[in-house]
Amino acid sequence: MKFALLLSLLALPVLSFAEAPKSTGVPATTPMQRPEPGWNARHATFNEISKQGTAQLVFLGDSITQGWEGAGKEAWTKHFAPLNAAGFGIGGDRTEHVLWRLENGNFTGLKPKAIVLLIGTNNTGHQGREGYLSPADETAQGVKAIIAKLQQLTPDSKILLLGIFPRGADPTDKMRQQNEATNAIIKNYADDQKVFFMDIGEKFLVEGGVLPPDIMPDKLHLTPKGYEIWASAIEGKVKELMQ
């Protein structure tokens, strides 16, 4: 009996601790509301902007997009405010939170000429929080679901899908590597008719792929200089898509 048990244990597959974690579900594609009052208040504000139906350019994303209201305010005023732009960014959002927002009023009544979508770094960065997993392929599925929802809500809008920005000090950072893996998938969603892809990540880096503190002091969020780099890098393409 003991010998049989030993044989059965030896027959079990050997798991490598180096293997990337795999989630059993796909949280990245499951719309999820966040409980914070501030989050819901911002969501409601975006719904009101959507009902007005006047914004011609919308930036959709997380804290990096929300940062246009802070560190990026000067660059926003210079480059995008004249284009009748609105920012729909909420700090901490992952793809599933953006999906919930889109299913609950964001963009309802809004038909912008162009949408700038930057999302996914929190899917990467929140790994391990309360068991949360979202490997690159699943994060990419979440981005794809957002694109599909936007095309359902506002089919005539052009979508500028941005590669997730680099994070971490240098190329050895595991989170940066996951973002790069996600970008390698989502770039294929561009059809150059309604969806266009740009990866401007290298513009934030210096020699050796290092993120300098005057651009991303916490290796994630942009300074005013970083926002100017971002704005300058995409302004021409944004204007082209809005024609």
**Residue from 23, 63, 137, 232 carrying the catalytic annotation:** 63
Quick one: residue 128, left, alpha or beta (phi over 0 = left, psi -120 to 50 = alpha)?
A: left
Q: Specify the DSSP class assigned to residue 62.
A: S
Q: How many CB atoms lie within 10 A of CB 124?
A: 23
Residue 159 is encoded by which pair of tokens? 């979508």
Distance CA 229, CA 226 (A): 5
232 is catalytic: no
Distance CA 36, CA 42 (A): 10
Where would I find the H helices in the chain? 2-10, 37-52, 63-66, 73-79, 95-103, 121-125, 136-153, 174-186, 224-242
**Residue from 62, 199, 218, 232 carrying the catalytic annotation:** 218
**Residue from 93, 134, 221, 232 carrying the catalytic annotation:** 221
Instruction: For CA atoms 20, 24, 26, 27, give the dihedral sign.
Output: negative
221 is catalytic: yes
Q: Specify the DSSP class assigned to residue 189.
A: G
Instruction: For CA atoms 53, 163, 132, 23, give the dihedral sign.
Output: positive
126 is catalytic: no
Distance CA 184, CA 192 (A): 16
Q: What residues are annotated to the active site?
A: 63, 218, 221
